[in-house]
Amino acid sequence: MVLASVRSIGFSRALRSSQDEEDFEQELVDQFALAQIGSGVTDGFVRTERSVIFEFARFIGQPLWTASPSDADRFLTHLRHERQQARSTRESKTGTLARFFDFLIARYQGDIHALTGYVVTQPIDEFNRPSSSSFVATRIPPSDPEVEALFTQWRDALPDARKYLPAARDYLAASLWRRAGLRINETVMLDIKDWRPDLGEHGKLHVRFGKGSRGRGPKPRIVPAINSVDTLLEWWLTDVRHQFGDDYLNPNAPLFPSERRDRHTGGRARAGDDALRDGLADAVQRWLPSWQGRLSPHGLRHYCASSLYARGLDLKAVQELLGHEWLSTTTRYIHVHADHVDHAWAVANERVAARLTGE
């Protein structure tokens, strides 16, 4: 293990007043922000991290370097019961605090001890860090027959929809989540030019606003239009998109438009993620009511990963399709049937037997 060097923070004067302590605390937080900016994260990510740190400081009512695991226990309990914040929000804030205190310990432990007499401890540990297991469990998707029934009835009902255009748009968006594993924000940001039917056997989607890791900005990727995505996009651009307005000739126009016009361009505004999310929720309520309130766009992304893997797409290919940086993330998206391991074992044994017999 390589030990991090402890660098001087340049705050050499003694802390004689509460103002000195506040100034020193502010400098520590500023140094953390500078380190993050140096690593390439976005300004928005840095602002979010800073706000969490100051929220924690206000809650404990004492200098950050004095924080203990019991302070973190009380803070997380406060977020859960008094603030009633979602598990994902609490997980995010816990991660922020863990990173900040790791930073203090690695870089400025010596300075802090010299000026305050305190030895900084990490207040986030395995006992108070929120577990993500139940969060992941909520992502387990419906079965193949359930998803097929939902989309078949949704598609068949489109011609009779009260507002055909947004209904068709919402159906296509959900189909991309189901068939190509796109994230909802990636879907919203697609433009007409991002569909490239000239690339590859099936065409490809240029996802320019893929999710970057730890706020490092968009991470673009190319998504092959497999799993009937090419057919759906051809239907959309041939039969439907032009009915929203003549901006369909503009390659920079949104692939998923709103019914409203953009006051700056005169073309259609970009549909919001809330509209697409509501479209899926309405369809689930009508045609898959047992999943009402449980099937989300991200749940369909999990379904996409699971169904493609079950059909023989290898894990690395699923990782590339979904745009995951780490293969371990992709494995958490794979939810297989109970007999999947048994089936894989039987297939593996058949291959071994074939090699031994020379067939």
Alpha-helical runs (H) found in 213-339? 229-235, 273-287, 297-310, 315-322, 327-331
How many other C-beta atoms are found inside a 10 Å radius of the C-beta of residue 28? 24
- Distance (Å, rounded) from C-alpha 174 to C-alpha 278? 11
CA 146 to chain centre: 25
Burial of 291 (0-12, 13-18, 19+ CB in 10 A): middle
- Residues with Cβ within 8 Å of residue 246, at least 6 apart in sequence: none
pLDDT along the chain (359 residues), means of 10: 42 75 93 89 89 96 95 95 88 93 93 92 88 54 95 97 97 98 95 96 95 75 96 97 94 95 86 94 96 92 94 92 89 70 60 67
Name residue 206's beta-bridge partners.
Answer: 222
DSSP assigned state of 17? S
- Distance (Å, rounded) from C-alpha 337 to C-alpha 247? 45
Element (H, E) at 108: helix 87-116
The CA distances from residue 188 to 173, 210, 259, 273, 323, in Å, are 8, 11, 14, 6, 16
Query: What's the confidence (pLDDT) of residue 131?
Result: 65
How many other C-beta atoms are found inside a 10 Å radius of the C-beta of residue 39? 10
- Distance (Å, rounded) from C-alpha 338 to C-alpha 340? 6
3-state secondary structure of 34: helix
> For residues 67 and 103, is the Cβ–Cβ distance under 8 A?
no
How many other C-beta atoms are found inside a 10 Å radius of the C-beta of residue 350? 10
Query: What's the confidence (pLDDT) of residue 336?
Result: 64
Which DSSP string do the residues of 287-301 spell out, in sequence order? H-GGGTTT--HHHHH
> For residues 171 and 154, is the Cβ–Cβ distance under 8 A?
yes
In the chain, what are the domain boundaries? 13-140, 144-298
DSSP assigned state of 214? G
Which DSSP string do the residues of 50-102 spell out, in sequence order? HHHHHHHHHHHTS-GGG--HHHHHHHHHIIIIIS---HHHHHHHHHHHHHHHH
**pTM of the entire predicted model:** 0.65
- For residue 220, the one-letter residue type is P
DSSP assigned state of 193? G
CA 330 to chain centre: 12
Identify the sign of the CA torsion 102, 33, 35, 5. negative
| Superfamily designation of domain 144-298 | Intergrase catalytic core (1.10.443.10)
Query: What's the confidence (pLDDT) of residue 4?
Result: 37
